Structure 1
Amino acid sequence: MRNKLLGLLAVPVLAVSLTGCGVNEVPTAEEAAKAKWADVQSAYQRRADLIPNLVKVAERYAQQEHDVLTEVTAARAKATSIQLNANDLNDPAKMAQFAEAQGQLGSSIGRLLVTMEAYPNLKSDQVFINLQSQLEGTENRINIARRDYNEAVRQYNTTIRTFPAMVAAKVIYNAKPMTPFEAKAGAENAPTVDFGKR
C-alpha cells in the first residue's frame, strides 16, 4: 500500500519537475520561430507574385528602362528559386544565400520604383501607382516579418541557453541555435539609378 501511495505521489512531482526543466519551453519556442519564418516566406511570396504585374504595366510605359525591368525579372527568378524550409533555419550559409537573393530583388525593386519619379507618364498611370503601393506595403510586411522572426529566434536561442530549459534542450532535443535573418552588406545604402542613358 505504501509503495502504491508513493507511486501516486511521484506522478505529480515528476510532472512538475519536467515542466520546470523546460521540456515544453524548447519545442514551443522552436515552433514559434518556425511559424515566424513561414510569415517571412509568405511576405516574400506576395512580393514575387506582385512583380510580374508590375513589370507588365511598367514595360508598357517605360520602354526606355528595359534594363531595370529585366533586372527585376531576373532577380525575382533567382529569389524564388532559392527556398528554405524549417530545417534550414540552423544553417547560416543557407540563410545567407536566401538573404542575398532577396536583397538583390529588393534592390532591383528599389531602382524600379525610383525610375517612376523620372517619368511622369508612369506617375500618371493608376495601375502602376496601385502596384507601387502594394509593393511598398509588401516591403513593409517583409520588414515586420523579418523583425518578428528575429525576435522569435532570439527567444528560442535564449531558451536553449538558459537554465533550466537548457537541460531539456541538450538532453532531450539536441537543440541547435537558429540563425537570425541578417541584412546583406551594403543594405543600408539606397539604390542608385542613372538616368543619363536613354
Structure 2
Amino acid sequence: MKRSGLILVAVLAVIGIYFLVSYNSFVKKDEKVRQQWSEVQNTYQRRLDLTPNLVSTVKGIAGFEQSTLVAIAEARGRAQQGLGGEPTPENYNRQSDLQDSLAAASNRIIAVIERYPTLKGTEAYRGLQTQLEGNERRIKVARNDFNAAVAVYNSAVRSFPGNIAAGVLGFKPREGFQAVAGADQNVAIKFR
C-alpha cells in the first residue's frame, strides 16, 4: 500500500514537472511570436515614417500629379491608424491590407516618376527607389521571421504530448501571414 502511494506521488511529480516545463516552453515560444510581431510593427512604422519624407523629396524635384500624393497620404493615414494590437489573424489581415494599400500607392510614385526622364537619373529618384525597395525587403523579412516563430510555436502546441499540456494550459495555435487572394497573379503596370 505504501509503495503504491509512493509510485502515485512519483508519477504525479513527473506529470507536474512535465506541465511546468511545457508551460515555460510555451511561454517562451509565445513571447518569440510576440517579439516577431513587434518587429513587423516596427517595419510598418518605418515605412510610415519614411514615406512622407521620400515623397517630399521627389515632390520638390518634380511637379507631378497631386492625386498620387493625396492617395499616398491617405493610405499612410489609414495604415498609421491600423498599427498595434494583439497578433491575431484578424489584426494580421487588417494591417496587411492597410500596408498593402500604402505599398501600392508608393509604387505608383515610381510609375509616375518614370514618366519624367530627367527625374529618373537624379540622386533623389535613386534614393527614393532604394528606400522603397529596402522597406519592402524589411517587411518581407519581418513577416518571414514572424511566420517562422509562429511555426515553431504551433509545432510545440500541436505535437504530442505537448498538445495535451497546451490544451490544459490554454495555449492555442496561432496563424501567420498568408498571401492575399490573387497574389499569385502578375501585376500589370500601365503607364499613361
TM-score computed with the length of structure 2 as normaliser = 0.83
- C-alpha distance 150-59 of structure 1, shift in aligned 2 (>3 A): same
**Relative contact order, CA 8 A, sep 6+: which one is greater?**
1
**Residue 48 (str. 1) matches residue 48 (str. 2):** yes
Deviation at residue 54 of structure 1 after TM alignment: 1.2
> Alignment length, in residue pairs?
185
Deviation at residue 101 of structure 1 after TM alignment: 0.4
Deviation at residue 44 of structure 1 after TM alignment: 1.0
Unmatched runs of 5 consecutive residues or more in structure 2:
1-5
**Residue 75 (str. 1) matches residue 75 (str. 2):** yes
**Residue 187 (str. 1) matches residue 158 (str. 2):** no
Deviation at residue 155 of structure 1 after TM alignment: 1.5
RMSD, matched Cα: 2.7
The residue that corresponds to 1:89 in the other structure is 87
Q: Does the 8 Å CA contact 1:59/1:66 hold for their aligned counterparts? A: no
The residue that corresponds to 1:102 in the other structure is 99
The residue that corresponds to 1:127 in the other structure is 124
- What amino acid is the match of 1:30? D
**Residue 167 (str. 1) matches residue 167 (str. 2):** no
2:148 corresponds to which of 130, 147, 151: 151
**Residue 34 (str. 1) matches residue 34 (str. 2):** yes
Deviation at residue 194 of structure 1 after TM alignment: 3.6
Deviation at residue 105 of structure 1 after TM alignment: 0.8
Find the aligned partners of 1:134 and 1:147 in 2 and give their Cα distance: 20
Deviation at residue 84 of structure 1 after TM alignment: 2.9
Q: Does the 8 Å CA contact 2:33/2:153 hold for their aligned counterparts? A: yes
Unmatched runs of 5 consecutive residues or more in structure 1:
1-5
- What amino acid is the match of 1:180? G
Deviation at residue 116 of structure 1 after TM alignment: 2.4
- C-alpha distance 58-187 of structure 1, shift in aligned 2 (>3 A): farther
The residue that corresponds to 2:3 in the other structure is none
Find the aligned partners of 1:163 and 1:102 in 2 and give their Cα distance: 37
Find the aligned partners of 2:122 and 2:50 in 1 and give their Cα distance: 17
